[in-house]
Amino acid sequence: MLSRVAENLFWMSRYLERAENVARLLDIGLYLELDAPSLAVEDGSSPVEIALEILSCRELFQATRTSLDRGAVLDFLTFDRANPQSILSMIARARENARGAQESLGVDAWIEVNRLYLYLCGQRAQKRFHASPSSFYSRIKQSCILFDGLLHNTLPRDEVYHFVQLGRYLERVDVMGRILHAKCLSLTQGSNDANLALQIVRWTGLLRSCSAYAAFLRVERDRVEPLGVIRFLVLNPDFPRAIRFCVACCRESLQEIVGGDDDEYANEAERLLGRLDGELRYIDVGEIFERGLVPFLDGVKTTSSKVGLEIQHSFFLS
C-alpha cells in the first residue's frame, strides 16, 4: 500500500471518530442541562462548556468569541471553520482524506462521507440545528456510525481495513482519556445524602457521553458509583469504547499491518501498545485509585500520543 493512502485512511478514521464523539458530548451536555439545571463541575463550567476542556480549545474560544453563552459554545464546536476541533472542520478533513483513498474505500463509503459534509455546509443543517440541536447531533452520530458500518461490512481484512481500525481505536483511547480526565473530580469526590442524586446524574451523564449507560447496567448490575464506572470504562475487555478494549484492537491491527506476533515487536508503536495492553489486563481498579486517577489517565494519554507519533514516523512520509 502507498504511504499516502495509508495516511489518508488513518486520519480519515480519526477525524470521523472525533466528530462523532464531539456530537455525542454536546448532545449529552444539552440533555444534562435539561435534566439537572444546577449541574456544574468544580470550576463552574456547564455540561456543554466542559467539551471545551476535553477538546483543549477553551483559549481559542475565548480569544475568538465575544459572547460566551451556551449558543456560542455550540456554534463554535459545530460550525466554526476557524476551530480545528469543530464538527464541520473535522468532517471536512475526513472528506479530504477519504477523497485521496476512494479506490480503497469503495463508492458507498465515499458517498456517505461526502453527503455528510455537504449536509453540514447547507442551510438544512442550520435550520435543523436551531430547531432541535439534539436531533441535529443525532443525525451526525448516525451518519458516522453508518460510515463505520459500511467499511466494516465491505472491506476485506487487509491493510486498508487495519489502518482504518488503527485510526479509529487510537482516537477512542485518546478521547476516553480526555473525557475521564475532565470529569474525574466529580467522579472521585465523596458522596453524601445531600448530593447523592446529583452525583448519580453526573456519573450517568459520563456513561451516556460514551454510549455506555445500557451496557454498564447489564454488566455491573449495581448502582452507578465511581469505582464501577472507572472499572467499566477503563478495564472492561468487551465494551467497544473501554480503553482496554480499544488498546487491544490497536495492537491487533498494528500486528496485522507489520506481520508481527506476541513474542516480539517490529517498531516502537507496537512496543508501547503491548506494554499498555499488558498493564490494562492486570491492573485492578483499586490500584488505579491508589496511584491516583489523574496520573493514571495522564499516562494513558501520553502513551497514546507517543503511539500516534511513532505510527506517523514508521508508516507515513510526513
CB burial class (10 A; 0-12, 13-18, 19+) of residue 81?
exposed
pLDDT at position 268 over 60: yes
Give 33 or 78, the one with higher predicted confidence: 78
Q: Are 224 and 240 in contact (CB under 8 A)?
A: no
- C-alpha–C-alpha distance, residues 25 and 245, integer Å: 21
| Residues 203-217 as b or e (16 or more Cβ within 10 Å = b) | bbbbbbbbbbbebbe
- Residues near 109 by beta carbon (within 8 Å), at least 6 away in sequence: 98, 147, 150, 151, 154
Indicate the range of 77-91, 157-171, 179-193, 261-275 predicted with least confidence. 179-193
What does each C-alpha distance from 173 to 192, 244, 299 come to in angstroms?
Answer: 32, 8, 12
Phi/psi for 120 (5° steps) reads: -65, -30
Cell matching residue 205:
451523564
HEC string for 48-78: CCHHHHHCCCHHHHHHHCCCCCHHHHHHHHH
Query: Across the chain, what does the average pLDDT equal?
Result: 89
Give 188 or 279, the one with higher predicted confidence: 279
Average pLDDT over residues 61-71: 86
Cell matching residue 48:
456543554
Average pLDDT over residues 220-244: 90
Average pLDDT over residues 209-231: 87
Residue 188 C-alpha from the chain's centroid:
22
pLDDT at position 262 over 80: no
Average pLDDT over residues 172-193: 75
pLDDT at position 37 over 80: no
Side chain identity at residue 9, one-letter code: L
DSSP per-residue string spanning 242-255 = SHHHHHHHHHHHHH
CB burial class (10 A; 0-12, 13-18, 19+) of residue 124?
exposed
Q: Per-residue confidence at 193, pLDDT binned at 50, 70, 90?
A: very low
Q: How many residues does the chain have?
A: 318
Alpha helices in the chain (DSSP H): 3-35, 50-54, 58-64, 70-78, 87-99, 102-105, 107-121, 123-131, 133-154, 159-188, 196-209, 213-220, 226-230, 243-258, 268-282, 285-291, 293-315
Q: Per-residue confidence at 36, pLDDT binned at 50, 70, 90?
A: low
Percent with pLDDT over 70 in the chain: 90
| Residues forming beta bridges with residue 261, ordered by sequence position | 264
CB burial class (10 A; 0-12, 13-18, 19+) of residue 53?
middle
Q: Per-residue confidence at 43, pLDDT binned at 50, 70, 90?
A: very low
